[in-house]
Amino acid sequence: MGLRLGKRLTRLCLLLIAVLGLSGVVLYATGHEMTTYYVDSTKDLVDSYKDWWNTEEKHAEEDQSLQADPETDLKGYADGTTLADSEEVQQEEQGITGVIEDNKNGNVVNATVKAAFVSLVRNEDLAEIVKTVTNLEERFNGKFHYPYVFLNNEPFSDPFKEAIREVVSSDVKFGLIPREHWSFPEWIDQERAAEVRATADYIYGDSESYRHMCRYESGFFWRHELMEKYDYYWRVEPSTKLHCDVNYDVFQWMQDNNKVYGFTVSIKEFESTIKTLWKTTMNFTKEYPEYLAENNMLDYISNDHGETYNLCHFWSNFEVASLNFWRSEAYRKYFEHLDKAGGFFYERWGDAPVHSIAAALFLPSEQVHYFPEIGYFHHPFNNCPLDQDIWHKNKCTCSRMLDFSFQGYSCTKEYYDFKKMKKPDGWEMFRS
Ligand SMILES: Nc1nc2c(ncn2[C@@H]2O[C@H](COP(=O)(O)OP(=O)(O)OP(=O)(O)O)[C@@H](O)[C@H]2O)c(=O)[nH]1
Ligand SMILES: [Mg+2]
């Protein structure tokens, strides 16, 4: 439409110039007093035609560049960047594998493992997450440059994005959580859920947002479009800290050793938050016995071979795990079953017991891994390597006396016993 109008205007201008020019020549030849007027008008018309043509040509170029990749607009992210912007994606599309250049500071990133850090966080947690990421960069990612994905149920502010970009050594994306992943599903009786919040006497019992968070971390973060291209993730929470250097590529190690779920702290859950979780889980396994792994960890999470849950779970504020596990049919169906039962809202089911029960039942024991050497802190517990050589070699700054792993409320001793692993020297001092 615009192009056709442009052609018509061009023709009209050329015709006018021709008429004026011809009239000028005739008048000049007859010595008429209007000659100068006609020559000047012709000159003005030629100049304005030239200006108009230049602008029109520029617009046409812009239009063409927009039309060049109609996909670009469709793949827009919440922060205005696009999937097609990423150099990594372009390289992937060109079939480049192996070690490639990341697009931040020309840092080299391992492209044989598709992995990223993922952090669910609020704008107001900026100061804490900046500290955590700075520490993570110093202890690990300054050497490996894995990308980050930040997720939020509200749009990230510009100051948040700027501050994060300043402290990371890699690519970073900021994503908005779709409303349907952070709201009550239609089958939930919201009055009943509100009543539970009004009377619950356990930690975060009165919080609606905490429940959305637990449900999101259980069933949705791995479905976010920004996570689609990854196979592994490392979960990062604000106010957490690495106590030691991590000198090896943890993601590469997970992949090479066929590990699916890795943790640093295990602990017992508050029973009052998950009153019907085990019963609901057992109903699921009765219906789908085919999802139980052959060499599973049932006897790590149950002391009576499935009758009851012993409350042991992996603390999910730190996880290095496979996204494909959550994407599996077994886990999708399990989550759907739990979600329909309503316990995320009628009780306060945490993503930690949900993830842990799934890992313990649907994975063979050898695919679950404890990282004793990753010194880690999330209030109020530490994972601090008891092994002196590791402590020194990895420049740890934690006190081994404050390690939580073998204290009574932890489940790491039970993990060692279940897997028949040798416990580190000194573990007895934490238990009478
Ligand atoms: N965007 C967003 N993130 C949240 C919200 N609530 C919690 N989170 C994030 O979800 C994760 C778990 O929340 P926490 O409040 O740390 O829960 P917790 O670890 O069980 O409890 P704490 O002992 O208080 O740390 C963290 O990464 C938080 O940043 C929320 O309402 N919005
Ligand atoms: Mg936390």
**pLDDT at residue 66, rounded to an integer:** 27
Is 80 exceeded by the pLDDT of residue 271? yes
**pLDDT at residue 109, rounded to an integer:** 82
Cα–Cα–Cα angle for 394, 400, 406, rounded to 5 degrees:
115
Ligand approaching nearest to the C-alpha of 125? 1
Q: Which residues contact 144 (CB under 8 A, 6 or more apart)?
A: 109, 110, 249, 251
Alpha carbon distance 368, 88 (integer Å): 30
CA of 378 to the centre of ligand 2 (A): 7
Given the residues 137, 269, 319, 373, the one annotated as active site = 319
Atom of ligand 1 nearest to the CA of 212: 31
Alpha carbon distance 339, 185 (integer Å): 9
**pLDDT at residue 256, rounded to an integer:** 98
Residue from 213, 215, 315, 316 whose mutation best tests the ligand 1 pocket (most atoms within 8 A of CB): 213
Report which protein residue has its CA nearest ligand 1's atom 22: 379
Mean pLDDT within 35-39: 41
Residue from 237, 274, 344, 378 whose mutation best tests the ligand 1 pocket (most atoms within 8 A of CB): 237
**Ligand 1, residues at Cβ distance < 6 Å:** 120-122, 125, 152-153, 209, 213, 237-238, 317, 379
Atom of ligand 1 nearest to the CA of 379: 23
Alpha carbon distance 347, 354 (integer Å): 13
Alpha carbon distance 318, 320 (integer Å): 7
The order of strands in the sheet holding 148-152 is: 172-176, 148-152, 115-120, 232-235, 320-322, 261-263, 368-370
Is 90 exceeded by the pLDDT of residue 43? no
State the CATH architecture for 85-419. Alpha-Beta Complex (3.90)
In the chain, where the domains are located: 2-68, 85-419
Report which protein residue has its CA nearest ligand 1's atom 19: 317
Is 60 exceeded by the pLDDT of residue 33? no
Ligand approaching nearest to the C-alpha of 236? 1
Q: pLDDT (tens digit, 9 = 90+) per residue, 101-114? A: 444 656 788 889 99
Give φ, ψ of 186 to 5 degrees.
-65, -20
Higher-confidence residue of 265 and 51: namely: 265
Work out the mean pLDDT of the chain and round it to a whole number: 83
CA of 395 to the centre of ligand 1 (A): 29
Is 60 exceeded by the pLDDT of residue 22? no
Cα–Cα–Cα angle for 12, 39, 11, rounded to 5 degrees:
10
CA of 121 to the centre of ligand 1 (A): 7
Mark whether 92 is an active-site residue. no
Alpha carbon distance 115, 231 (integer Å): 6
Alpha carbon distance 122, 177 (integer Å): 12
Mean pLDDT within 21-28: 46
